[in-house]
């Protein structure tokens, strides 16, 4: 089938919404300050990849970016980075200074795939840009909130372990998007079933993006920066060093194996396939 050369391009809109911004944070100023910090970290990490697009603060407690066609692989990398950043000591320390004591920080993460109606020069204007990609991302935030709250009897996956509760939305008619649900399922498999313990998620976060670090140094970092008592040993003792190194090897074995790489590749390829499916509908 020949494609329409005048078709609209497909965009990937990501909205990251702060969970409990009104109940978990000291006040609106604290929320704004924290979201601004998060935006700066995202833009600094992806400045070389996102072209004219940038992460923007939206409605005080959300972050939005509209990725142009051809940036499909960034969707997975952004989600991976967010989960990695969450477990870094700096991120947690900044959050704690803004939050009510005893509260925990979490997010909703929605990906809307579709078209954009406004001029490409307005992609960074969150108050103006519109189109199905943006509306689907917005709808996705509302739906994932209901899924997490167990208010929606649907097969969508409820992300409980990952701090970023994810949903991919490709249609306004909910429950009729098998391709998107399949990709959500792959995210779920990786972040909820394989990275199913806190230590695995910490280790995975610290290894992003393929960071070169020895087992001993990683164990020491987990003990010192992240207060994980099981890694708090006498590092001058060769026997304890050997034991803790083996513990790290066992902990990270699932995230270093080929199945994880296959899942990552399947997610990116799946997003490309979703784009192609939507292209055929234009």
Tens-of-pLDDT digits for all 282 residues of the chain?
Answer: 445 667 788 999 999 999 988 889 999 999 999 999 999 999 999 998 988 889 999 988 999 999 988 888 899 999 989 998 998 888 989 999 999 998 889 999 999 999 999 888 888 888 889 999 999 999 999 999 988 888 766 667 888 889 999 999 998 555 568 888 889 999 999 888 888 887 778 777 777 655 677 888 888 877 877 777 888 889 889 899 899 889 888 877 766 666 778 888 899 999 998 888 888 776
Q: Two tokens at 280?
A: 């055929």
Place of tokens 């005893």: 102
Helix (H) or strand (E) holding 78: helix 72-86
Q: What is the pLDDT of residue 106?
A: 93
Q: What is the pLDDT of residue 175?
A: 53
Q: What is the pLDDT of residue 12?
A: 95
Q: Two tokens at 55?
A: 């992460």
Q: What is the pLDDT of residue 173?
A: 58
Cα 92-191-173 angle, rounded to 5 deg: 110
Closest CA to 8 of 113, 112, 111, 114: 114
| Beta strand pairing call for 164-169 and 107-114 | parallel
DSSP-assigned beta bridge partners for residue 110? 15, 167
Q: What is the pLDDT of residue 66?
A: 95
Q: Rounding to the nearest 10 degrees, give the CA dihedral for residues 94, 36, 73, 248.
A: 0
């Amino acid at each position: 089938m020949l494609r329409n050369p005048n078709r609209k391009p497909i965009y990937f809109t990501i909205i990251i919404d702060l969970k409990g911004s009104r109940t978990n944070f000291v006040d609106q100023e604290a929320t704004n300050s924290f979201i601004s910090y998060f935006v700066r970290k995202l833009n600094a990490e992806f400045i070389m990849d996102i072209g004219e697009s940038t992460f923007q603060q939206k409605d005080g407690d959300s972050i939005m970016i509209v990725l142009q066609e051809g940036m499909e692989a960034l969707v997975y990398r952004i989600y991976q980075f967010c989960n990695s950043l969450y477990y870094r000591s700096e991120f947690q320390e900044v959050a704690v200074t803004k939050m009510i004591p005893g509260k925990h920080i979490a997010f909703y993460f929605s990906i809307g795939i579709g078209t954009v109606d406004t001029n490409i020069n307005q992609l960074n204007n969150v108050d103006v840009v519109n189109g199905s990609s943006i509306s689907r991302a917005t709808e996705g935030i509302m739906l994932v909130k209901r899924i997490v709250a167990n208010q929606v009897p649907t097969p969508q996956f409820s992300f409980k372990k990952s701090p970023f509760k994810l949903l991919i939305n490709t249609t306004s008619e909910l429950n009729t998007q098998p391709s998107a649900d399949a990709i959500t399922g792959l995210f779920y498999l990786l972040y909820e079933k394989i990275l199913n313990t806190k230590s695995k998620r910490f280790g995975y976060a610290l290894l992003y993006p393929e960071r070169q670090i020895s087992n001993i140094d990683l164990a020491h970092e987990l003990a010192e920066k992240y207060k994980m008592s099981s890694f708090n040993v006498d590092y001058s003792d060769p026997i304890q060093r050997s034991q803790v190194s083996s513990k790290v090897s066992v902990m990270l074995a699932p995230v270093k194996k080929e199945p994880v790489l296959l899942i990552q590749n399947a997610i990116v390829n799946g997003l490309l396939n979703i784009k192609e499916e939507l292209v055929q509908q234009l």
